[in-house]
Chain A
């Protein structure tokens, strides 16, 4: 194992983690505020990719694809929360089952609309190719994902930490009842957080769709990863989602490279260990 191997693998792990962050940060916030285990979250990722694909085909613009894909799925998220999930508020199991129902419907709807062929989303010229540093080469697009994730993370952190809305969200994560008691409109806040979560996941879907592809089955393929991130990082914690994504990205990458036979074990077993020591995850509070 050369130094080059470690550098490249670390970069790959980080960039995969960056993509996971886009997917999982929303899941974590939704979870924190609403205590919903959203099994349709992977579907947002997949649907975002498909909508983005259609937009690229029509307009040729990657930026438009990201924006429209994310917004369209945010609307779907709003409808799901407002019309369905809210009726079951407080029923953990009922909500989980309902999100499963939606996941199945989304899966089939995507098949109906876009067919089953796998596609990749074409990216603009400047993002193609490789960056070279000495003997090392890194795909430009992966560096781009890292930058996007860093920007999103910073914005989220500023929003949560420095704005009134952010303070309300944090209050709701800590104790929704108490927050409601002091006059915070928790239902509206929940709706906003749910929409934001769907928005981020779909954005991840479009951006990820350019190098992972857009295909049926992507929904349930990424979902466990998002869950592991959230579990490791701690529910409802933004720093948790950041650390969790990077950890999972790196573990997954090195697990596959170094212990191919046990690769998923090397991902899930440390998670079980963290849970055994800290049941609420690294940054979560009980």
Chain B
């Protein structure tokens, strides 16, 4: 654990140190990577630590992003309002969906979360008077934090995202090593045993679901500010699927792994597409290769090597 902390610390310090000398484009990609890392880590709480694979995680991410976009453009709401409402909206959505989804397990859970994610997508796509439908909401202004640096600049916004991601990582890290997190792992390993030991399994899973959705909401808030634009693309199935891939690629149950997985996918997509139109083909092959040859993700593969 402590080694992993050291590893993450090094990555973060390194990123923070090179950021000022990086040109604008790699910097925006790095920013994107840190934001998406929060999303991937949030799914890891659910998948890696509780054993519940969700195919609808973009829903909470998207609900928060939409809340920010609507408040910031139509109500000119400030950062604090947007942040709180965005995260609460994600949490409430997760709390409602959790009631339905937690009853199922395994494959059923996958399908139900997929379908629930589609409910949010359907609203984003068709509730035109609120969401502007497929046009999306553009012109979301970057927040004013009362700091000496304007977040309109790529560098300050990068640090803003980095700090938020680190904060999210610390909070989720504390959660998974807490007694609560330990019992989540217990549930992942054997639900029946935990039940016999007197744990309220349903409640644990439910809380994990809501917490996971809440952190996805945090990522959504940043995402809305980062792009200045929100559309149904942010809540579509493919976004949920990609998040799941990030976790699987990085290695579920490690937090840092999915974060690295997120960064890798962000860079892979933007890199490969520069050199070839056929980048989807390559991405698909990479996914299949990872699943075949490193079924526990990169983190798992490296851990395996050590033994």
Docked pose: A91 CA to B286 CA in angstroms: 19
Q: Could you name 19 residue pairs across A and B whose Cβ atoms are closer than 8 Å? A: A37-B107, A96-B110, A97-B248, A100-B241, A100-B245, A100-B284, A101-B287, A102-B284, A104-B284, A105-B280, A107-B284, A108-B278, A224-B118, A224-B237, A231-B111, A262-B127, A264-B122, A267-B122, A271-B115
Closest 10 CB pairs of A and B: A264-B122, A104-B284, A101-B287, A105-B284, A101-B288, A108-B280, A108-B281, A268-B119, A101-B284, A279-B103
Partner of A96, one of B55, B112, B129, B288: B55
Whether, in the assembled complex, A261 has its beta carbon less than 8 Å from a beta carbon of chain B, the answer is yes
Besides A98-B288, A104-B280, A235-B108, 15 other A-B contacts (C-beta < 8 A): A35-B107, A37-B111, A94-B248, A94-B295, A96-B53, A97-B248, A97-B291, A98-B291, A105-B288, A231-B112, A264-B125, A267-B122, A269-B119, A279-B103, A279-B104
Contact B281 A105 (CB under 8 A): yes
Docked pose: A220 CA to B237 CA in angstroms: 8
Interface of B is mostly: helix
Whether, in the assembled complex, B77 has its beta carbon less than 8 Å from a beta carbon of chain A, the answer is no
Contact B112 A265 (CB under 8 A): no
Whether, in the assembled complex, B58 has its beta carbon less than 8 Å from a beta carbon of chain A, the answer is no
Whether, in the assembled complex, A133 has its beta carbon less than 8 Å from a beta carbon of chain B, the answer is no
Chain B, 283-305, contact with A by CB distance < 8 Å: what is the 0/1 string?
11111100110010000000000
Contact A98 B287 (CB under 8 A): yes
Docked pose: A281 CA to B85 CA in angstroms: 34
Partner of A84, one of B53, B127, B288: B288
Interface of A is mostly: helix
Q: Which residue in chain A gives the minimum CB-CB distance to B128?
A: A261
Residues on B with beta carbons closer than 8 Å to the beta carbon of A260 = 126
Partner of A93, one of B53, B100, B111, B123: B53
Contact A264 B116 (CB under 8 A): no
Whether, in the assembled complex, B82 has its beta carbon less than 8 Å from a beta carbon of chain A, the answer is no
Contact A102 B288 (CB under 8 A): yes
Which residues of B (247-296) have their CB < 8 Å from a CB of A?
248, 252, 278, 280-281, 283-288, 291-292, 295
Least Cβ–Cβ distance between A143 and chain B, in angstroms:
29
Whether, in the assembled complex, A3 has its beta carbon less than 8 Å from a beta carbon of chain B, the answer is no
Residues on A with beta carbons closer than 8 Å to the beta carbon of B248 = 93-94, 97
Contact B122 A265 (CB under 8 A): yes
Chain B residues with a Cβ under 8 A of chain A = 47, 53, 55, 99-100, 103-104, 106-108, 110-112, 114-116, 118-119, 121-123, 125-129, 237-238, 241, 244-245, 248, 252, 278, 280-281, 283-288, 291-292, 295
Least Cβ–Cβ distance between B43 and chain A, in angstroms:
12
Whether, in the assembled complex, A276 has its beta carbon less than 8 Å from a beta carbon of chain B, the answer is yes
Q: Which residue in chain A gives the minimum CB-CB distance to B104?
A: A279
Docked pose: A246 CA to B108 CA in angstroms: 22
Residues on B with beta carbons closer than 8 Å to the beta carbon of A101 = 284-288, 291
Residues on B with beta carbons closer than 8 Å to the beta carbon of A33 = none
Residues on B with beta carbons closer than 8 Å to the beta carbon of A109 = 281
Least Cβ–Cβ distance between A253 and chain B, in angstroms:
15
Partner of A100, one of B252, B287, B292: B287
Docked pose: A186 CA to B55 CA in angstroms: 28
Which residues of A (158-211) have their CB < 8 Å from a CB of B?
none
Residues on A with beta carbons closer than 8 Å to the beta carbon of B115 = 224, 227-228, 231, 268, 271-272, 275
Least Cβ–Cβ distance between A150 and chain B, in angstroms:
27
